[in-house]
A and B are shown apart, each in its own frame.
Chain A
Amino acid sequence: MDGIYLDNNATTRVDDSVVAEMLPYFTEQFGNPSSMHSFGNKVGLAIKKARLQVQELLGAAHESEVIFTSCGTESDSTAIWSALRANPERKEIITTTIEHPAVLALCSHLEKEGYKTHFLKVDDKGRLDLDEYARLLTDKVAVVSVMWANNETGTLFPVEQMAEMAHAAGVMFHTDAVQAVGKIPMDLQNTKIDMLSISGHKLHAPKGIGVLYLKRGVRFRPLLRGGHQERGRRAGTENTASIVALGKACELAQQHMHHENTEVKRLRDKLEAGILAKVPRAFATGDVSNRLPNTSNIAFEFIEGEAILLLLNKFGIAASSGSACTSGSLEPSHVMRAMGIPYTAAHGTIRFSLSRYSTEAEVDRVIQVVPEIVAQLRKLSPYWGENGPAEEPEKAFAPVYA
């Protein structure tokens, strides 16, 4: 499909060489890796290779620390439930207000089951207060779960430091790293991170495959019990083709790590600067000096995100928005709200997320199109006057009910 795809934090194109690598595992190599015969044996070896490839990208000490799961959400749920079951006397969880729903909704649910969840707040740049965190780290806490990079803004969190602090306090530490793995280098063997979640489709592997990294020696209770797969830590017949694919995708991500942090970053910076230079009343959200190399989240004031996306789509440009309307909920993105972005801007946030497939020509085209779209929608907005926002926009337009 033609078009300009700048929504790589949502999902990515499966790399052609990844597809080529996985295809034989549907037909010629269809065996069950648990079987004793030669149909299964080769598949078992392929999974072993994939595990090594994942280990390499993560900088993990042992291949057995890699547990294949079905997705990032399963990895998150497994990690948090495991910590709670392994520490039944501890009834508190620490997480953040800006987590992905995979963690946030689970923690909110656990509150109903009698657990106390501390949601760490962020400042206007999306940064955490580590003093607040330190105060909460007590022996009542079963697990800390903090994302490595935020999916909407790309803001990076000091998870290595936070893991050290948790470790010193005797608390387990999990990080949802689905946005970070493959985009920034990692060396887990030299960290105190106990558990880490990966999602295959965020790094050019297929959907439906994930990994839970589990540091050797960390107490663990499986979510799915049954067969002996994954050393009994995740029962269920292996998704062999996708495991092979994820292995290959990790190898490729490792090869492109330098490119991601130089060329992709350069294109992202060019895109952001180009748009902000041409569009008044727009600003980048999050901690722009400390974020993923591929992500730019821009708030366009006084217009609504879904409308922007529909017009971008007309030009063949794919991005995503933190607006309420794109999700069907009434509230705009919880990440924007947590950072205190006002409603008139939070509804107009657009996330551009690049990949190694993004090109200079695509970025140039988006820089050209976005200002026209924003101007077109602002012309419709009751908050916008002739050449700028209506004077005192909140007063100029005050609807009857709110």
Chain B
Amino acid sequence: MWDYSDKVKEHFFSPRNSGAMDEANAVGDVGSINCGDALRLMLKVDPDTETIQDARFQTFGCGSAIASSSALTEIIKGMTLDDALKVSNQDIADYLDGLPPEKMHCSVMGREALQAAIANYRGEVWSDDHEEGALICKCFAIDAVLIEETVRANKLSSVEDVINYTKAGGGCSSCHEGIEEILTKVMAERGETFSPHAVVLKEENKPSKLTNLQRIKRIETILDAIRPQLQRDHGDIELVDVDGKTIYVNMIGACAGCQMEAQTLQGIQTRLMEDLGEFVKVVPSRAGSYVRAASHV
């Protein structure tokens, strides 16, 4: 039995704002029948103020899917559309006093329904490349699709790489067999053979020609260049420390605890490596949402 919080149970047993809404002028349908959850979010938006006057939902899904839908409608009622777009899946999970890692996707579905509904209201087409795979790392709630894509995109070849890039496998380590299977498969695609004993020959770090101060300033400049993109998604990044090859950062706002945080960090790391011309590792200094997720294990 799942370790659901009292809040989840309460919202499941007595869902708020459930049922169809005839006067809705914004509707978002999302979900995955194969995964057994699907959500229709219906909003009544005041055209003058773009305020959400009422919100209702219909959900085909498990206890936490229904509770997440209920929580979402409660959170966004009375918000302007712009404010509602700032609601993250973590906000939904927090509202419910947390969700088990296997169930975080229920809160993601809530956020996506919200985006879809607002896009529908604004006459935009909302599409999502979101794809879910089997959960591999239970400590940090990371699925096979994300690991596979990261391994492919970055030509990773060891479990250690996967931990550094995605955090998957960095906790209890029970999933290392699963990660090795993904490595074996993806490396075979590029004609390599996975070997757990291979000495990982990291590109030997070229001696940095920059002084420490110059290097840190350079990192700041690169981060500044990335910042506008993050801010567009209502997030931000802050440099905390540089310790040799490890760059510690803080993810702020919507970036903090975002399901895409690992991918975002990885993108930033790639950019830093390209610009600095050396191998570096970007690490969130505050463990953030994943620690919360891990605490449910």
Contact = CB atoms under 8 A, between A and B. Distances in A.
B58 interface: yes
A324 B33 contact: no
B259 interface: no
Contacts of B60: 302-304, 344, 347, 380-383
Contacts of A343: 33-34, 36
Interface of B: 9, 12-13, 15, 18-19, 28-40, 58-66, 102-103, 112, 116, 126-128, 130-135
Given A314-B13, A381-B59, A399 B133 contact: no
A361 interface: no
B102 A328 contact: yes
Nearest to B181: A112
A397 B40 contact: yes
A347 B59 CA distance: 13
A36 interface: no
Given A329-B134, A330-B34, A306 B19 contact: no
Contact of A399 (B18, B30, B103): B30
Given A330-B133, A401-B30, 13 more contacts: A306-B62, A307-B61, A310-B13, A325-B103, A329-B134, A380-B59, A398-B29, A399-B33, A400-B128, A401-B127, A401-B130, A402-B31, A402-B32
A364 interface: no
B196 to A, nearest CB: 15
Contact of A400 (B12, B36, B65, B126): B126
Contact of B29 (A303, A305, A400): A400
A323 interface: yes
- Majority-rule SS of A interface residues: loop
Contacts, number: 110
A129 interface: no
A331 B61 contact: no
A332 interface: yes
Contacts of A310: 9, 12-13, 63
Contacts of B64: 325
Contacts of A323: 36, 62
A190 to B, nearest CB: 43
Contacts of B37: 304, 325
A228 B148 CA distance: 47
Contacts of B58: 380-382
A219 to B, nearest CB: 31
B134 A306 contact: no
Given A304-B60, A330-B133, A402-B33, A397 B13 contact: no
B291 to A, nearest CB: 20
A379 interface: yes
A329 B132 CA distance: 11
29 contacts: A303-B60, A304-B36, A304-B62, A306-B62, A307-B12, A314-B13, A323-B36, A325-B62, A325-B63, A325-B64, A325-B103, A328-B135, A330-B34, A331-B35, A343-B34, A343-B36, A347-B60, A379-B19, A380-B19, A380-B66, A381-B58, A382-B38, A382-B58, A382-B60, A397-B40, A399-B33, A400-B112, A400-B128, A401-B128
